[in-house]
Amino acid sequence: MIAIVAVDQNWGIGKDGDQLIYIPEDLKRFKSFTTGNTIVLGRKTVATFPGGKPLKNRRNLILSHNPDYRPEGGEVYDDLERLMEQVTDSDNTYVVGGASVYNALIHRCDKAYVTKIDAAYPADCWFPNLDEDPDWEIQEQSEELEHEGVKFRYVNYRRKQ
């Protein structure tokens, strides 16, 4: 599986149930990777999507402990192992958040596509710091990019063999 995430300088990913910043180019990149594939995510992450609905043109595997949560276009599981039984092609399955889902599944991922934002924001949830994890290494990274004065780069990590 592949984790895909945008992080700030402190590996923060969100505050009050939303992303820290929206960068249109990064959203297009996310769409290009995930369209036509499977995404694994939590209920609160679905709530941040347009209309609070699962994303179109993707298989949405949603982890939720709420038995009444049944969004159209999503497959809901109350147990991580039951959800993982539905992952049929891990090379085309993206873990897209939130923090508890990332933390539960990062050990099952062999790649991570990280948008590293060169700024620090107030955050209340974080992604595991792959720079400090000896099991991960940088595979490649883009040149520095910028959106409305905010600098960022794409960094692809891979799990060491």
pLDDT digit string (tens) for 79-130?
A: 999 999 999 898 999 999 999 999 999 999 999 999 999 999 999 999 999 9
Four-point Cα dihedral 4, 6, 10, 11, nearest 10: -20
* CA–CA dist 51, 116 (Å, integer): 27
Query: 78 — phi, psi (to 5°)?
Result: -95, 0
- What average pLDDT does range 6-15 have in this prediction? 98
> Token pair of 145, please?
């990019």
CA angle 7, 12, 42 (to 5 degrees): 85
- What average pLDDT does range 42-51 have in this prediction? 93
pTM comes to 0.95
Q: How confident is the model at residue 67 (pLDDT cuts 50, 70, 90)?
A: confident
Estimate to the nearest angstrom the gap between the alpha carbon of 89 and the chain centroid: 17
Count of helices and strands (H, E) across the chain = 4, 12
Please measure the distance between the N-terminal and C-terminal CA atoms of the chain and give it in whole angstroms: 15
Whether pLDDT at 161 is above 90: no
